[in-house]
């Protein structure tokens, strides 16, 4: 049986086919961690959480649950949550256990792309010496083969058919800067180059959000997120930026492009400590928006944010 008291960080994918295999891969680890008085956080969709909670049969002391459909709606929020968990519960005699399922069949194509980037970045988010285990369940019966192949590439270990083994196709890598898909419709576009244009940008976004029927509170979140992105452009990039806004089905999208380079692949995924003066803008954008897609290279950066309508 796999050990909770690992000498370092273990990032493992669990391929399950049905509830029986899901429980066979998760329940023994949870019980072993509880017996060892190790902290446990389970962040999975509601249905799978109900299955695991029923199997624990009331023996849930020390086991925390988070709704991944809310926490991980934007995958850019998840690494910060795991880091908070490890900061709070690491360093003891037993390594904490996390179970996180960020990918399920109903994910949109854009969400799926960001989930796979998230899983790759998890290998960079913790040093190999950090003592904790993160198990990532994948519904192998319902997810397509290309998603499972990607999981083999971005997890050092895989558990399937009742056994755990090193992934032959794993590659510790930094996600590339492949271009985002072109907008499905012609977007509205505006350039900005100074702080005097920020109020006009905010008014533009607020008016478009109202016209598209975005709820007032979510519209305020979108305006704040765009303000943060545009402000970052003015602080860190030369030559100003370009903003584009458009609607696709039930999603309002805003994209900010500039000539700056965001070198840290984990930028915006965890709240900087109080001792750091900057870095909170991207983190705030991830907290406010339903999905954030960031692509950056020495040639420039593009950040696309999604807000669901209705």
Tens digit of pLDDT for each residue in 95-114? 999 999 999 999 999 999 99
In this structure, the answer to whether residues 114 and 47 fall within a common structural domain is yes
CATH code for the domain in which residue 116 is found: 3.40.50.300
Same domain, 263 and 148: no
Q: Which of 177, 128, 196 lies closest to 157, judged by CA?
A: 128
Backbone angles phi, psi at 302, to 5 degrees: -130, 130
Residue 243 CB coordination number (10 Å)? 23
Residue that is written with structure tokens 């926490």 in the block: 71
Structural domain for 105, as ranges: 9-166
Instruction: Mark whether 14 and 162 lie in a shared domain.
Output: yes
pTM over 0.85: yes
Residues 232 and 268 in one domain: yes
**Whether residues 133 and 236 fall in one domain:** no
Give 119-174 pLDDT, tens digit per residue.
999 999 999 999 999 999 999 999 999 999 999 999 999 999 999 999 999 988 99
User: What's the total number of domains in the chain?
Assistant: 2
**In contact, 33 and 40? CB cutoff 8 Å:** yes
In a domain, 179, yes or no: no
**Residue 180 falls inside a structural domain:** no
pLDDT band at 239 (very low <50, low <70, confident <90, very high): confident
Would residue 34 count as lying in a domain? Answer: yes
Residue 109 token pair = 């194509």
pLDDT band with cut points at 50, 70 and 90 for residue 4: very low
Q: Domain check: are 199 and 162 in the same one? A: no
Question: Residues 249-253: contacts with CB within 8 Å, 24+ apart?
Answer: 250/308, 250/309, 250/310, 251/290, 251/306, 251/307, 251/308, 251/309, 252/208, 252/209, 252/212, 252/214, 252/222, 252/306, 252/307, 252/309, 253/183, 253/187, 253/304, 253/305, 253/306, 253/307
Q: Is residue 178 part of a domain?
A: no
């Amino acid at each position: 049986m796999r050990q909770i008291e690992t000498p370092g960080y273990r990032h493992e994918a669990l391929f399950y086919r049905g509830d029986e295999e899901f429980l066979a891969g998760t329940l023994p680890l949870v019980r072993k961690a509880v017996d060892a008085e190790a902290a446990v956080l389970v962040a999975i969709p509601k249905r799978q959480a109900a299955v695991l909670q029923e199997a624990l049969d009331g023996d849930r002391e020390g086991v925390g649950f988070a709704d991944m459909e809310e926490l991980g709606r934007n995958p850019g929020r998840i690494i910060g949550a795991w880091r908070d968990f490890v900061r709070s519960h690491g360093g003891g005699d037993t390594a904490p256990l996390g179970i996180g399922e960020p990918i399920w069949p109903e994910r949109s194509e854009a969400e799926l792309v960001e989930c796979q980037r998230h899983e790759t970045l998890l290998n960079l988010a913790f040093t190999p010496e950090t003592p904790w285990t993160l198990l990532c369940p994948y519904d192998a019966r319902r997810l397509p083969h290309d998603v499972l192949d990607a999981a083999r590439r971005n997890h050092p270990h895989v558990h399937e058919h009742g056994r755990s083994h090193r992934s032959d196709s794993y590659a510790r890598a930094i996600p590339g800067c492949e271009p985002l898909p072109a907008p499905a419709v012609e977007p509205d576009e505006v350039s900005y180059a100074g702080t005097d244009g920020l109020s006009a940008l905010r008014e533009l976004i607020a008016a478009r959000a109202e016209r598209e029927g975005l709820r007032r509170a979510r519209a305020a979140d979108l305006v704040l997120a765009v303000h943060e992105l545009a402000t970052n452009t003015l602080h860190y990039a030369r030559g100003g930026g370009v903003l584009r806004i458009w609607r696709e089905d039930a999603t309002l999208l805003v994209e900010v492009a500039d000539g700056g380079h965001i070198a840290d692949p984990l930028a915006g995924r965890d709240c900087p400590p109080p001792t750091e003066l900057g870095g909170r803008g991207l983190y705030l954008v991830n907290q406010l928006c339903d999905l954030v897609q960031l692509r950056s290279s020495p040639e420039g950066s593009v950040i696309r944010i999604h807000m669901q309508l209705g």
